[in-house]
Amino acid sequence: MSKLKQQMREDKALRDTAHSLIVADVAHVRNIMNAETLGKRIAGRIGDGASDVLHKAGNTAGNNSGILAAVVAAAALWFARKPILELLSDEATEDLPPDQASRDETDPVTLPPNDDRGDRIIGEDHEQ
């Protein structure tokens, strides 16, 4: 019977060890799932990812500085397009005669007077 008691003691020790490991694992999972700890881990990973992207973007910009300068110039021209177009339209009106240069785009266009055939449809020759 001493052999059975020895086996039972070994089994109980093994069971207690397994139980303590499971209790430790549960405590570890609860600690991981804590809102404060989870938020810090997520923020840390996002920060690491953002710094990696920023580093890669810096390297790419350094390698392609000509293209980057062209894109920046195009963006600057795009945002400054209205003042540039206004400046060019002012210069264009300086070349026009005074009566046309002073006319606003919203002014109605004066059409020549209608003759008596103005109500006819083109291509039809019928009497009225």
Half-sphere exposure of 34 (CA within 13 A, CB side): 9
Per-residue model confidence (pLDDT) at position 100: 57
**Residue 62 pLDDT class (50, 70, 90 cuts):** confident
Q: Would you list the domain boundaries of the chain? A: 65-103
pLDDT digits (tens, 9 = 90+) for 6-61: 999 999 999 999 999 999 999 998 888 887 777 888 888 898 899 999 999 888 88
Q: Which of 57-66, 67-76, 78-87, 106-115 has the least mean pLDDT?
A: 106-115
- Burial class of 103 by CB neighbour count within 10 A (0 to 12, 13 to 18, 19+): middle
